[in-house]
Amino acid sequence: MNDLVQRTVTGCIYVALLIAGTAIHPVVFAVIFAAMLFFTQLEFYQLVENAGSSPRKHVGLTLGLLLFGTCFGMVHGFIPQNAFLIFIPVLTILFLFETFRDNSKEIQNSSVTLTGFVYVAVPFSLLNFIVYPDYPETPEFFPWILMGVFFIVWVYDSMAYLVGSMFGKHKINEKISPNKTWEGFTAGAIFALVMGVLNAVIFQEPDIINWIIIAVIVVAFGTLGDLFESKIKRKLNVKDSGSVLPGHGGLLDRLDSLLFVIPVIYVWLTFSGNL
């Protein structure tokens, strides 16, 4: 199959899956995004394993799913609002596990296990609060803010890729990501801002100022997230984080920008009174 056709087909399926997971029903949201959390976090652990580390994958993956489930239960009122605090002592105990392993890289192994949890599981878990913006007052499922964020990310990534591929000459950082150019970045940023304005019209809330700020966050932190994952792959001398998405690589390759964007958007929405 032609690479462009393969990339397009896979991309359409991926986008359809995210839209379905966001818009159909809270249970569908939980199933799809919990699954994506699991496989994205697993990809990260497999990457660092190839570099010689031995993360406690089962512990990290279990904790990641438990955090997502805890946040899901909190917004639905199934469990207390402060239930997430249990993860503070649990993560501390995680480091103690390494003292009982016959391994000379105890601190490194604990660190990469915790990194996978913070890098992947925390952003995915925060999605629960973004789709329930009135929590804890009203348990009303409102997925449109998250949908709008996805629209901005997809427009930014797509236009940056297209313009960078056709007209890009000035590299942002060739040592980290040789294909990313300032021309692509500029085009992506412009279209992201336009999409932010359109989101204000399509979804009505939050207001246009907030959508523009969200677009700026996507451009800034999405780029940093992309460069961060590119740096990891360059250090490990791998092209993709996986092969689950033909033509695109792995889930981590597609979600790297979102992993940096979601926590910052959550903080902004909270401080601005939209959550």
In 3-state terms, the chain is what percent helix, strand and coil (to 5)? 75, 5, 20
Distance separating alpha carbons of residues 127 and 34, to the nearest angstrom: 10
Question: Counting beta carbons within 10 angstroms of the beta carbon of residue 66, is it exposed (0 to 12), middle (13 to 18) or buried (19 or more)?
Answer: middle
Residue type, 38: F
| Least confident span in 2-6, 71-75, 115-119 | 2-6
pTM: 0.88
Tell me if 181 sits within 8 A of 170, measured CB to CB: yes
Q: What tens digit of pLDDT does each residue of 73-111 get?
A: 999 888 888 888 888 887 777 666 666 665 556 667 778
- pLDDT above 60: residue 116: yes
Distance separating alpha carbons of residues 174 and 166, to the nearest angstrom: 17
Domain regions of the chain by residue span:
26-140, 142-275
Question: Within a 13 Å sphere around the CA of 240, how many CA atoms are in the beta-carbon half?
Answer: 13
Report which of 267, 273, 274 is spatially closest to residue 123, judged by C-alpha positions: 267
